[in-house]
Every structure is written in C-alpha cells, then in structure tokens.
Chains A and B, each alone.
Chain A
Amino acid sequence: MNLEDIKPDVVHDVVGTFCPVPIAETSKVMKSMKIGEVLELIADDPGVVEDIPAWCNATGQEFLGMYQEDGEYHLFVKKVKEL
C-alpha cells in the first residue's frame, strides 16, 4: 500500500514527548477508535520507529508503515482488534 494513499481516520500529534508517552497516547487514542480505522501518529522521538511496530506486534494491531519529514515521523497503524 502506498502511504500517500492512506486517509487516516484519526491524526494524533505527540511531537515533543518521549518514550513511553507516544505509546501511552497511541494506546489511549486507539481504544476509542473503531476496528478498521487508521491512526496517523506524528512524533519526533526517533525511538518510535522501533517502539510502535513492537507495540503493534505485541498487541496484534497492523502497522502499515511510516515516513520521515522535517525531523518528524508519521506512522500509520490500523486497528484490527479491540484493545
């Protein structure tokens, strides 16, 4: 899937926070989302590049991919099961 084609249902900006806050925020936001919806997380903690895929792996959510722009990371996660 091309990342540019993804239309996120929720965009959440956690720029300025560091691990584990981006994960806590992802978890919180995704709880309120419906199955099938996509979250775009914007962060500048470079650690999210490893943390978010690991979190998706542990919790069974689908990591769609990410790109970096102007020192910020845009990560896409699809909710595939309840949290």
Chain B
Amino acid sequence: MNKRAVALLSGGLDSSLAVHLLKDQGVEIKALYFYTGFCITEQKRRLGLKKENGQQYVNPAIRAAAQLQIPIEVVDISQEYFNVILHPKYGYGKNVNPCVDCRILMLKKAKDIMEREGYSFVITGEVLGQRPMSQTREKLKLIEREAGLEGYVVRPLSAKLLPMTVPEKLGWIDREKLLSIKGRSRSRQMELAKKYGLEYEQPAGGCCYLTDENYAIKFKESLAVDGLITREDLVLFSVGRHLRLPSKTKLIVARNEGEAKFLMTLKHRYDYAYRKDGKGTFVLIKGDMPEEEYQLVADIVSRYSKREPCYVILSIKGEQREIWAQPIDNASLDSFKIYTKKGAMR
C-alpha cells in the first residue's frame, strides 16, 4: 500500500518523465493538476484562438495523463491563489510569478489529498538548478518544509543529487533507478522521452502566464497607479493593448476579433467605445473619465480602426454619444502606452 503516490503533473516534459519513471517502478500514481486561474490554454480558448493548424489548444496535463494512463484530478486553487499573487511571502520571480509560494500552496494541497486518499508520498518533475527562483537546493528544501512534507517529496529527475527521501529509505522505490539531472539543459530529458515514446508539450514553462513579461508590466503598473487589483483585472492584463490617459483612466484596446468579443462581454460593467460602422476595434474604458478626454478616446479608437477618420460611439454611464474622430498621431499615442516601444515602463 506504500507504493501509492500523487504527482504534480503539468503535462510538460519534466513532470511527464518523472511520472513515467516511478510508474515504471510499480508505483500507483494519481496526477494532480492545479488550476490557478492563470492558465494559457484557458485564456486562448476564452479568446477563441486556435493553433496554426486550426486545432484547439488542449490542456497538456489532461493529454499527458491520458497518455501515461493514470487518473488525473484538476484541483481549483484559484481563490487562494489570488491572495498568493498579491502578497507572496517569498516574493516574485523575474515577472509576477510567485514561484516559491505557488509551489508551497500546491504541495500543501497535494499533502491534503495524499493523506485523505491514502497515498504515501508526492512526486514532482522539479530539476535541481533549472529555475533560479524555486529550484535551488535551498529552495527545494524550504518549499518542502513549508508544505509540511519534509522527506516525502520525490523528484525522480534529480533524486540522486538530493538527500535521500523517506520512500527511498524504506525501500518503496529504488534510488538507483532514479536520475541525477541538473541545470537548464533539457537534452537528457528529451533523449529519455524519445526512448520511452513520451509526447510532451513544447515549449517548456508550463501553462502559466504570470511568467510573461508583458503581463508583469501591466500588473505592476496597475498596482502602482490604481493601488488595487481585482480578480477581473488579473484576466484583463492578458487581453488587449493597455493605455493610460492623463486622468488615470485606462483604455483596453482589443487587438483582434476574439479579444473584442471577450471585452464586449464586460459592456454592462464598464464604459466603452467603438467605431460606429463596426469596422474596427472595441475599447473598454476603466475609470471615471472626464469629459475633456472624450475626443482623445475617439481619436484613439479611430487610430486602431483602420486609421481612418470616422464616427465613434462612446458609451459613458449608459449614455451613448457620437463623436467625429481623426486618428491620433503616433507620438501622442506612444505617450499613453503602458509599455513603450523602447521596452521601458512608464
């Protein structure tokens, strides 16, 4: 009964391989996939985007579990995750990715499920030294301790470089058959995947968009200017071009039909603007916009709607206005962009 484990499965190369290695040792495994609310697949589907070959984006974890022939449970941690992202105890990575806190939360949840359902340990695809923020020897130890799982997290890909875990000590699994991979190169893993015939999602990095630089810029700017971030904001940061007007009103400009359709679903809660004849973008307006900026917004709509002079409809607090607009010039437009062309944050 001790050869039962839960595994954190993202569907990427490392976690799929980790599961495969222990399944090969006869361990009965249940995969856990944590839904944080920052899933790239979810966002792409929400915006109606498809792959270049016309296929749907598929959740890599579910596909991997089917391939590995192990049960998978999708665990919704989005509510708790919201607090983690706003107040990470161990800070952010390069962008707004609170990787250490995120791992702790996921391992805590894994521990609950493990104990409740009679599993004996946890498997992860972590590789020593692969990610600077969360996968150093010290961080792996810290994450494990904070989650209350000291000695019970098996990392098959780097096991031989890490202290012996309880399942190894007690002979539930054979340490000799585990690996000693470290660092950022994935060549060894790719070789093994080929050997075992495992398909996996590329590129690596999982399904989380908090590691995206553009997302992080919008997040940090909003925290600095608005001082408050809502759950809806967290979704909106991944949609459209974001512009900040002098009054601190924010405009979110749809970049394609999918984004326009999505932003339109929020019409009942925000002010908005669009080209009257429908031949152009859709703009969501966040904040109390003073009347002197109406023309500016109309000119921005015109700029992003085929760059043609046109009539623009502005819906402000339920009241519709029609404004004749000329496309705004590039220099003025640039001054409102949260992310400038030079890559610097305003």
Contact = CB atoms under 8 A, between A and B. Distances in A.
B119 interface: no
Chain A interface mostly: helix
A8 interface: no
Contact of A20 (B41, B46, B66, B70): B41
Q: Which of A21, A28, A45, A47: most chain B Cβ within 10 A?
A: A47
A19 B39 CA distance: 8
Contact of A47 (B45, B70, B74): B45
A49 B31 CA distance: 21
A60 interface: yes
Given A18-B42, A21-B42, A47 B71 contact: no
B66 A54 contact: yes
Contacts of A57: 66
B6 interface: no
B257 interface: no
Nearest to B70: A58
B33 interface: yes
Interface in A21-65: 21, 23-24, 27-28, 45-47, 49-51, 54-55, 57-60
Nearest to B67: A58
B63 interface: yes
A47 B76 contact: no
Nearest to A81: B71
B46 A47 contact: no
A21 B65 CA distance: 17
B82 interface: no
Interface string B233-254: 0000000000000000000000
Nearest to A61: B71
A27 B62 CA distance: 12
B310 to A, nearest CB: 31
A5 B72 CA distance: 30
A83 interface: yes
Contacts of B75: 24
Nearest to A45: B45
A19 B207 CA distance: 11
B59 A51 contact: yes
B35 A50 contact: no
A20 B57 contact: no
Given A27-B73, A59-B71, A20 B56 contact: no
B69 interface: yes
Contacts of A50: 56, 58
Contacts of B65: 54-55, 58-59
12 contacts: A18-B43, A19-B41, A19-B57, A19-B59, A23-B59, A24-B75, A47-B59, A55-B65, A55-B66, A57-B66, A58-B31, A83-B73
Interface of B: 31, 33, 35, 39, 41-43, 45-46, 56-59, 61-63, 65-66, 68-76
Q: 8 tightest A-B contacts by CB?
A: A58-B65, A24-B74, A59-B71, A54-B66, A18-B45, A58-B66, A18-B42, A57-B66
